[in-house]
Structure 1
Amino acid sequence: MTKLIGYARVSTRPQSTDRQESDLIAAGVRRDDLYVDQGVSGARATRPQFDRALTALEARDTLVVTTLDRLGRSTQNMLDFAQELRGRGAGLRVLNLGGGDVDTSTPMGSMLFTIMAALAQMEHDIKRERIVDSIGKRREAGKDLGGRPRLISDSKIRNALRLVDSGEPAAQVARDLGMSRATFYRRSRELNAK
Structure 2
Amino acid sequence: MGKLIGYARVSTRAQDTDRQEQDLLAAGVRRDDLYLDHGVSGGRAERAGLTKAMEALHGGDTLVITTLDRLGRSTHNMLALADDLRARGVGLRVLNLGGGDVDTSTPTGQMVFTVMAALGQMELDIKRERINDSVSKRRAAGKDLGGRKAQFTDSQVRNAARLIEAGEPAAQVARDLGMSRATLYRRMKDTATTS
- TM-score bucket (shorter structure): 0.7 to 0.9
Secondary structure in 2 aligned to 1:43? Answer: coil
Q: CA deviation at 1:85?
A: 0.5
Equivalence for 1:82: 82
1:99 equivalent in structure 2: 101
Shift of 1:9: 0.5
150, 170, 175: which one aligns with 1:173: 170
Gaps of 5+ in 2: none
- 1:156 CA displacement: 2.8
Residue range with higher mean Cα deviation, 136-145 or 71-80: 136-145
Q: Does residue 121 of structure 2 align to residue 124 of structure 1?
A: no
Alpha-carbon distance in 2 for matches of 1:156, 1:37: 43
Distance 1:135 1:46, change over 3 A: same
| Deviating more after overlay: 115-124 vs 136-145 | 136-145
- Alignment correspondent of 1:110: 110
Task: Name the SS for the 2:92 alignment partner.
Answer: strand
Q: Counterparts of 1:153-168 in structure 2 under 5 Å?
A: 154-164=154-164, 166=165, 168=167
* 1:138–1:144 CA contact under 8 A, matched in 2: no
Check whether the contact 1:138–1:145 (CA below 8 A) recurs between aligned residues: no
Give ranges in structure 1 of 5+ residues lacking alignment.
Answer: none
**Following TM superposition, by how much is the alpha carbon of 1:173 offset from its aligned partner in structure 2, in angstroms?**
2.4
Match of 2:101, SS state, is coil
From the superposition, tell whether residues 82 and 27 of structure 1 become closer, same or farther in structure 2 (CA, over 3 Å): same
Residue identity opposite 1:125 in structure 2: D
Correspondence list, 1:4-153, <5 A:
4-97=4-97, 98-103=100-105, 106=107, 108-133=108-133, 140-142=142-144, 144-146=146-148, 150=151
AA aligned opposite 2:170: V
Provide Cα deviations, 1:121-180, integer angstroms capped at 9, x if missing partner.
122223333444555566642264148x74x5544312012235x4648xx324432244
SS in 2 for 1:89: coil
When normalised by structure 2's length, the TM-score is 0.80
